[in-house]
Amino acid sequence: MPEAATQKAYRLHLMICAGTGCVSNHSFDIKAALEAEIRKHGLENEVTVVPTGCNGFCERGPILVVQPGNIFYQQIGLKDVPHLVEEHFLKGRPVSRLMYVPPAEKTPVPVLSDIPFFKKQVLIALRDRGLIDPEKIEEYIARDGYKALAKALTKMTPDKIISEITLAGLRGRGGAGFPTGLKWQLVRGASSANGGQKFIVCNGDEGDPGAFMDRSILEADPHAVIEGMVIGARAIGATEGFVYVRNEYPLAVARLSKALEQAREYGVLGTDILGTGFDFDIRIKRGAGAFVCGEETALIASIEGRLGEPRPRPPYPAQSGLWGKPTCINNVETWANVPVIVDRGAAWFAGIGTETSKGTKVFSLVGKINNTGLVEVPMGISLREIIYDIGGGIPGGKAFKAVQTGGPSGGCIPKEQIDLPIDYESLAGAGSMMGSGGMVVMDEDTCMVDVARYFLSFTHEESCGKCTPCREGTKAMLDILTRITEGKGTAGDLVLLDDLAQGIKDSALCGLGKTAPNPVLTTLRYFRNEYETHIRDKKCPAHVCRQLNVYTIDPAVCLEKGKGCDVCRRNCASEAISGEKGRAHAVVQDRCIKCGVCADVCAFKAVRIS
């Protein structure tokens, strides 16, 4: 039995974040340096270093949390290690210069749970984050891991498991929010020829720009997903399962592979699970990174080894999925919720959240926000609480403009709706969607037409091309949006965009196409005046669409402050600036290619953009 670290008593546990974000910030090097320094001081029998999954406060990585005490250290560098080991781990004096200082405050906050970023979070899917080494099954077991599985296998009938999930009100965390219990019921009830075989699939094909919820869960707590899947298999009567995960998530694939091996070794996966006679095994299918493969019928095609293209539904996978057999597909986060519901009961879970949306949701908070990271919040929390209390507001004193939820399928919610409670219905009502949990915050310097163009370019690029509305429709919409951002928009463009969007929504084959127009529709709904300014006045209010900008140099500022420093002229690739050192400079408009370099290089802010 692998004993070592989980058996030996240490007085200090140094929990170092080993999620992808911190790892790319050299957290493994820091771990090695810590261990070397600990040995140097002869502390190797007193202090241990434990790699954990993503802490969530990615903005501040690499992160080290010291237990007991819950002391939060941030942005640790190799050079900090000797001082930290001697002062804190040997002499017991926490090092305040490595602690988090909230913006606009001077005093560091030593304890993790006192930091505003963590205060309002409620952890269910991420319950083990920062507390266990994801590569040690025993640590998962110690936190009640596989206890729910034991309960499901011995004390619950399959129908009872399904009714528990139904009563809990769990809905799919991957996007559409379909009730999980109902889906399981449909798969359980579906008849299957050929020995009644059924399949379980975990959808880890996370492709939204800026989203990394599923990756973090797989990296931080792979057993939570495995346990959820085994319980699901028992409920619907499946004997085989697949985790579809992107090959561009190497750490998630490695940790999941290791977890599957350990689970088989410990008898919680494979044949005769926990001695109950129940058989179920899981295989990993690595995806090549096509966005459309997150769509369930395309994902099924990809697992079967065919081209990752969707097909019309019905039949739904619940009736005819993998190799024509009834198949239950749920997202990574959904599966991670299952063991807790079975363990603690439906009533407990249903007590969190809103009337229609129960439990919590994990969001990746990115964009123009101070505290970039991964957060898990109860359903019903307002956007304001996420953006200001947890996210710490907008950097640089800029004004909040909008938040984009739901990735390329979602929409932009304007600042007027910042008190909107987060649940499936209110997001849909605002024209957006829950999606898998991407949350991109935008400030006043963001051009909403450009944002719509960006998301459309993404969906157009990722369209598989099978159906015409998506293949040609997204192209037509993208062309119009590009034209508008270049100042070539015409009066009829907005009507045409509306028509196209509606047409694609109604006729595209799969979710990718049906939702692709959402970013355009919501920006048209809330920021129509920005489109009109682009088309009518040929101006971009946020100065993002460079083709619409006119660059001029204020001669007074150039001469008085900058003494005609000549830097702009020397940096202008198209030789569109006249003047010489010591004299006021000017932009020759008919040669200007609007690259904006002059504005970037001018230290005296003499370049005006209008």
Region 567-606 residues binding other proteins, contact defined as CB under 8 A: none
Tell the residue number behind the tokens 């997001």, with chain if given.
Answer: 427
Residue closer to other proteins, measured from CB, 94 or 181? 94
Region 227-286 residues binding other proteins, contact defined as CB under 8 A: 265-268, 272, 274-276
Contact between 69 and other proteins by CB under 8 A: the answer reads yes
User: Closest by alpha carbon to 217, among 233, 202, 236?
Assistant: 202
Written as six digits, the tokens of 215 are 């990756």
Of the ranges 9-17, 180-188, 223-231, 348-356, which one interacts with other proteins (CB under 8 A)?
9-17
Give min distance, CB of 267 to other proteins, in A.
Answer: 3
User: Closest by alpha carbon to 338, among 241, 245, 211, 448?
Assistant: 241
Q: What angle do CA 272, 276, 282 make, to 5 degrees?
A: 40
Contact between 144 and other proteins by CB under 8 A: the answer reads yes
Contact between 70 and other proteins by CB under 8 A: the answer reads yes
Figure out which of the listed residues 39, 40, 93, 581 binds other proteins, where binding follows CB under 8 A: 93
Figure out which of the listed residues 142, 307, 496, 593 binds other proteins, where binding follows CB under 8 A: 142
Please, are residues 294 and 207 in contact by the beta-carbon 8 Å criterion? Answer: yes
Q: Compute the CA torsion angle 269, 270, 272, 278 (nearest 10 deg).
A: 80
Residue closer to other proteins, measured from CB, 143 or 286? 143
Contact between 101 and other proteins by CB under 8 A: the answer reads no
Contact between 67 and other proteins by CB under 8 A: the answer reads yes
Residue closer to other proteins, measured from CB, 7 or 610? 7
Written as six digits, the tokens of 566 are 């000549």
Figure out which of the listed residues 24, 83, 97, 154 binds other proteins, where binding follows CB under 8 A: 154
Distance CA 479, CA 486 (A): 11
Contact between 148 and other proteins by CB under 8 A: the answer reads no
Q: Compute the CA torsion angle 194, 197, 198, 200 (nearest 10 deg).
A: -140
Residue-wise DSSP of 215-232: HHHHHH-HHHHHHHHHHH
Contact between 9 and other proteins by CB under 8 A: the answer reads yes
Of the ranges 147-155, 184-192, 226-234, 503-511, which one interacts with other proteins (CB under 8 A)?
147-155
Please, are residues 287 and 214 in contact by the beta-carbon 8 Å criterion? Answer: no
Written as six digits, the tokens of 572 are 């202008």
Contact between 91 and other proteins by CB under 8 A: the answer reads yes
Residue closer to other proteins, measured from CB, 275 or 314? 275
Give min distance, CB of 518 to other proteins, in A.
Answer: 42
Figure out which of the listed residues 26, 147, 538, 561 binds other proteins, where binding follows CB under 8 A: 147
Q: Compute the CA torsion angle 466, 472, 475, 479 (nearest 10 deg).
A: 180
Residue closer to other proteins, measured from CB, 90 or 595? 90
Contact between 150 and other proteins by CB under 8 A: the answer reads yes
Residue closer to other proteins, measured from CB, 31 or 368? 31
Figure out which of the listed residues 80, 139, 164, 208 binds other proteins, where binding follows CB under 8 A: 139
Please, are residues 26 and 139 in contact by the beta-carbon 8 Å criterion? Answer: no
What burial class does residue 555 get, using C-beta atoms within 10 Å of its C-beta: 0-12 exposed, 13-18 middle, 19+ buried?
A: middle
Query: Helix or strand or coil: residue 399?
Result: coil
Residue closer to other proteins, measured from CB, 137 or 298? 137
Contact between 42 and other proteins by CB under 8 A: the answer reads yes
Please, are residues 327 and 199 in contact by the beta-carbon 8 Å criterion? Answer: yes
Q: Rg of the chain over CA atoms, in angstroms?
A: 27
β-pair partners for 200:
241, 328
CA distances from 174 to 17, 177, 403 (A): 25, 7, 19
Figure out which of the listed residues 99, 141, 557, 586 binds other proteins, where binding follows CB under 8 A: 141
Residues of this chain that bind other proteins (CB under 8 A): 1-2, 6-11, 13, 15, 42, 45-46, 67-70, 90-94, 110, 131-132, 138-139, 141-147, 150, 153-154, 265-268, 272, 274-276
